Amino acid sequence: MIDASVAELRQALDARKVSATELAHLFLNRIDAHDAAIHAFITVDREGALAAAAAADERLARGERAPLLGIPFAHKDIFCTEGVRTTCGSKMLENFISPYDAHVVTLLKEAGAVSLGKLNLDEFAMGSSTETSYFGATHNPWRAGYVPGGSSGGSAAAVAARLVPLATGTDTGGSVRQPAAFCGITGIKPTYGTVSRYGMIAYASSCDQGGAFGASAQDCAALLEAMSGFDERDSTSLNRPAPQLRAALDAAPQDAARPLAGLRLGVPVEFFRDGLHPDVVRALGDARRQYEALGAQCVEISLEHAARLAIPAYYVLASAEASSNLSRYDGVRYGHRAADYDDLDSMYCNSRSEGFGAEVRRRILIGAYVLSHGYYDAYYLQAQRLRRLIAQDFRAAFERCDLIFAPVSPTPAWKIGEKADDPVAMYLADIHTLAVNLAGLPGLSHPCGFSEEGLPIGAQLIGPHFSEVRLLEVAHRFQQNTDWHCRRPVLSAA
């Protein structure tokens, strides 16, 4: 059962070959055995999980059937969960117990999914390695001492290690796709506005979007379908029907031998120039040939602005929004408050200095600077203009292709601490993912090979707005003809 797909778990639960309570115990015991070495979880909610599993068993006994009913999963610790602490990986919220559920949490509770707890992340989702968490770094299950990617590194590591079959994540600049690639699993970020941001603690509001992790595209489809839908409490939520993702993947292709016949895959020349690790070049080359063997036609496209301008535009805009969003953490209403202060100003300063880590403070300072008088036009407004150029790049590209095929990261996972003292090098790790968020597009990462050191490598598929069905379907056809998504790391007991 540990390595079973969500569809296989669904069949076993519906046939009463296993109960939801037994499944919850199975994965909780696996967390006990292995998470000390990986540190994917911040909070394991054993009591809540068993109560949710018992409720799922009651619904199953009544004959109820639903895609995620009784299926274990876990939340990235950025979604507010009533009665369970929500930390954002920060000292600032170390003991915060949310009084309400995020919309995503509510939807998955209604679906009957069984949450086992909350997963580690870079502090306030600011990072690419899950090293900035106040609670300590998460390790890549494929190789101890290496990063799992970030900011949703705990989510990716937990699914890769099969501590849970599914996990939620958030993606502001690649924080679902990059850790999915580093951990050898599948991750999808949908079109901006598809998943409600209500109760998802904000980093950069114009880029933040909830996403899904699973071993395969088929698993991701089940979770993302349940997470999606309009929410009137989120002003950026799209008022359109939730996508029917699972049915599209279950449909048989018209041409079984060439299921992707007619698909035009755009290959951005700028993304494949100097700078890619040789192992990434090799794995992506193999994946491209596999896609062509399945009937896809690869065409060269240009994403010049996206390749050249995404990093400066993103880190100006995201830092500005972070500076605004994190101003609420002042030590007054909730969150960390310094023990020593003389007046209100010193309480603010001391509480924020103690509560926020170095990377969060860095981005707040950058954001405050670019929003300040005299610099707003030169930096913030200019970054907004660059954002428009990037979006125009994608619109032009999709006139020539249906989906875009690209790297997720220039390199496989690196050693923990290797880039900790060089924030610019860390930022450059997101060079192939940031533009997707700036344009509000959906993107997916699926495993396509391994480095010589045995670390997973992922390929990225990018689509036009509302193409989640196509992205998942194409990745699913690839996975029906390859086994990269079936491979699992070998874990030793803690």
Residues with Cβ within 8 Å of 219's Cβ and at least 6 positions away in sequence, in order, are: 5, 6, 7, 165, 166, 186
CA 473 to chain CA centroid, Å, is 19
Please answer whether residues 165 and 89 qualify as being in contact, where contact means their C-beta atoms are separated by less than 8 angstroms: no
DSSP 3-state of 125: helix
Q: How far apart are CA 392 and CA 30, in angstroms?
A: 47
Write the CA distances from 475 to 127, 168, 481, 493, integer angstroms: 27, 19, 10, 33
Catalytic residue among 19, 115, 155, 175: 175
On the question of a cis peptide bond just before residue 151, with omega within 30 degrees of 0, the verdict is: yes
151 is catalytic: yes
Q: How far apart are CA 389 and CA 313, in angstroms?
A: 10
3 state SS of 312? helix
Which entry of 133, 151, 152, 445 is annotated as an active-site residue? 151
Q: How far is CA 358 from CA 59, 127, 162, 420, in A?
A: 47, 11, 32, 11
Q: Which of 487, 456, 486, 494 is nearest to 30 (CA)?
A: 494
Among 19, 76, 196, 228, the active-site one is 76
Rounded to 5°, angle at Cα 370 from 368 and 376: 120
Backbone φ/ψ region at 311: left (φ over 0), alpha (ψ -120 to 50), beta: alpha
d(CA 175, CA 212) in angstroms, rounded, equals 11
Q: What token pair was written down for 312? A: 């400066």
Residue 98 annotated to the active site: no
Residues 6+ apart with CB under 8 A from 354: 91, 336, 338
Q: Report d(CA 491, CA 479) in Å as an integer.
A: 24
Is 76 catalytic? The answer is yes
Structure tokens at 259: 């299921």
Q: How many CB atoms lie within 10 A of CB 328?
A: 12
DSSP 3-state of 131: coil
The pair phi, psi for residue 144, each rounded to 5°, is -60, 140
Q: Which residues are catalytic?
A: 76, 151, 175
